[in-house]
Amino acid sequence: MIKYLALVAFFSLGCVQKRQVAIDLGITRITLNHEDNLRIPFHWIRVTIEKRMDSIIVHSISKPSEDSMKWEYSRIDTSFAISSASYNKLISLVSQISAEDLKSSRAIVDDGTSVTISYGNSKSEQTFDVSTPAYDAERRKTKHFFEADMEILKISRIPFE
């Protein structure tokens, strides 16, 4: 009986490890560039998320479009760690982005928002560019891209609305 339980536990742990590897997909870096030409505060945002040996670091940068003290609150340059659970959620979201789907993403109305999401590792990288990703996301098949964009912005701690 004890041998049977030990074998069940061993095989169960092996399955969990395989699932974690499948979630990871070898992604060690996720980058977001979000530019909104109609906004003054938070006009330009760059978020880089890097998985290192023992931590996951987020580096968030935001700049206003005008150099004025009025918009200085939106000038941000900060770094911090996030949990593996948050990182795995991001990996799940960015891995759902499909280049095939985004072929039909041309915006009919361009509100000046340009977003680039890249992910990969030191050997390879996927990059996706979408203008106005929120506009008609279902029809344009930008839903997964937009969800990843919003989640990265949420994790970035930049108070973007």
Q: What is the mean pLDDT of residues 25-30?
A: 90
Question: First vs last Cα of the chain: how many Å apart?
Answer: 58
Whole-angstrom Cα Rg for the chain: 19
Q: What is the mean pLDDT of residues 90-101?
A: 93
- 85: helix, coil or strand? helix
**Structural domain spans, the chain:** 24-156
- pLDDT for 100-155, tens place per residue? 888 877 766 677 899 999 999 989 999 999 998 988 888 889 999 999 999 999 99
- pLDDT for 56-86, tens place per residue? 999 999 999 998 899 999 999 999 999 999 9
What is this structure's pTM?
Answer: 0.81
CA distances from 75 to 24, 40, 53 (A): 32, 11, 30
Report the CATH number of the 24-156 domain. Answer: 3.30.1560
- 147: helix, coil or strand? helix
